[in-house]
Amino acid sequence: MASGHILVVDDEPDIRSLVKEILEDEGYQVSVAENAQAAREARRQQRPDVVLLDIWMPDTDGISLLREWSERGGLPCPVIMISGHGTVETAVEATRLGAYDFVEKPISLAKLLLTVERALEASRLKRENEGLKRNIPVPLEPIGSSRAMQSLRSQLERLAGHDTWLLMTGEPGSGKESLGRWMHERSARRAGPFVTVAPGSIAREHAAQALFGAEDGNGVQYGLLEQANGGTLFLDEVAELDPELQLRLSSTLERRALIRCGGREPVPLDVRVIAATAQDLEALVGAGRFRDELYYQLKVVPLAVPALRERIEDVPELLHYYADFFANRDKLPYRHFPVAVQNRLRNYGWPGNLRELRNLVQRLLILGAAPEVELAEVEHALGAAPPPVRAPRGDGFDIDYGLPLREAREQFERAYLLRQLQEAGGSVGKLAKAVGMERTHLYRKLRDLGVDVKAMARED
């Protein structure tokens, strides 16, 4: 069954009615507008997946409306122009402004349906390509035969068939987003978008508009939440949301409708939410740093993703899998991991989890030439990212037990990160690997704790 929201803009009632009926019979959701002003309002109310736009209309012609949309933030989706007597100049102008295709009057229903289907497919491929530019394409399968992975895969397969919201917990690099994508591809929403929202990577002053969109007299900007309509919204490290955004998101999820910045009317929101975090949200709720209502909204089904060291028996299988993957994807020579190398890597702590293993395999395939990976290569690669150094007891740091929990924790975190930063030679990149944090999150944490990395570097 087809899916997607189609906006039909035409001043002829018979054509609007006929096209709406045909598209709805095919399973599409259809909105209609009789002129440019009605089209603007329909677009404001709900983001379309495809627009069928008549060129000749009494108030504002289709080319002018197409130009307006194109100049105010870009076209919202593929736009198919409808024309009964278009000229070459009109076609050239519409193409320049980004029109996807033309359908001539009298409308051939077979061609109309084929053009709409192709436009939706082009839009889907564009979203996927944009996603691949933002994220390194990696395998999505939950690889591993350990008891922990067998149990996790069984849970994922059961949950993929349901539309329930999930809260994934697990250390950075453990593969939470990949598992979310894997579930999306096996869900009833697989034809819809998979949109990742990473609050920690969005500047605070722009976060509300980026998430919820914006509207004013100049047009509409669709936010990430609205872009996920009909699909899956993946909230990566949800604990990084500011308190104000937590409240707004909670209200949005409760009503299943959002209000854009500057807007007044709610916009329907139909998404499956998969949230992920490496932090203890329950502890953050208790400390007043995360809203309890949002926590319970997201925690419909909790799902714990094991760290790689908790399923170390999967390492040999993962090594072979990624060696094969990168050999095929990047046209690299395949290299075999002998037992001695497998054993060394089984006994490694993997502070960076699955991401670290994946990057290690890719690096060994790129830099190595021999058919077999040698133990010396592995030792050298692991030596570039030393495991975390444990500070000995009695190193001079004392916790002030008279402080509130939050302040005491911050006192410890500052001392801990300062010590680890010294061990890393002032390198934030090495520090991020050592403490198992994303670099973006780590920079924010250091700033919040008053640690000036540049000043320390100057002192050295």
The tens-digit pLDDT sequence of the chain (460 residues) is 457 889 999 999 998 999 999 998 888 989 999 999 899 888 888 888 899 999 888 888 888 888 888 877 667 789 998 887 666 677 778 888 888 888 888 888 888 898 998 888 877 776 665 554 444 445 567 899 999 999 999 999 999 989 999 999 999 999 999 999 999 999 999 888 899 988 877 877 888 998 999 988 767 888 899 989 989 999 999 999 989 999 999 999 999 999 999 988 899 999 999 999 999 999 999 999 999 999 999 999 999 999 999 999 999 999 999 999 999 888 899 999 999 999 999 999 999 999 999 999 999 999 988 999 999 999 998 874 444 444 444 444 555 565 666 667 777 877 888 888 877 777 777 888 788 777 777 777 777 777 766 655 544 4
Residues 6+ apart with CB under 8 A from 262: 214, 215, 216
Domain 405-459 sits in CATH at: 1.10.10
Q: Which residue has the tokens 């089984």?
A: 346
Domain parsing of the chain, residue ranges: 5-133, 147-304, 308-383, 405-459
Inter-axis angle of helices 339-346 and 315-329, nearest 10: 110
Note whether 10 and 19 are within 8 A (CB).
yes
250 neighbors 217 (Cβ within 8 angstroms): no
Rg (CA), the chain: 26
Indicate the pairing of strand 166-169 with strand 5-9. Answer: unpaired
Distances (CA, A) of 92 to 60, 89, 122, 220: 19, 5, 20, 26
The correct CATH number of 5-133 out of 3.40.50.300, 3.40.50.2300, 3.90.1750.10, 3.40.50.970 is: 3.40.50.2300
Give the count of beta carbons closer than 10 Å to the beta carbon of residue 129. 10
Q: Which two tokens stand for residue 181?
A: 């994508």
- Encoding tokens for residue 189? 């929403």
Query: Which CATH number is correct for 147-304, 3.40.50.300, 3.30.465.10, 3.40.190.10, 3.40.50.460?
Result: 3.40.50.300
Cα separation, 453 vs 426, whole angstroms: 7
Tokens of 184: 């999306």
Q: Which of 208, 204, 234 lies closest to 135 in space, CA to CA?
A: 234
At residue 119, what is the residue type? A
Do the domains 147-304 and 5-133 match in fold? Answer: yes
CATH of domain 308-383: 1.10.8.60
The pTM assigned to this predicted structure is 0.62
Residue 395 C-alpha from the chain's centroid: 42
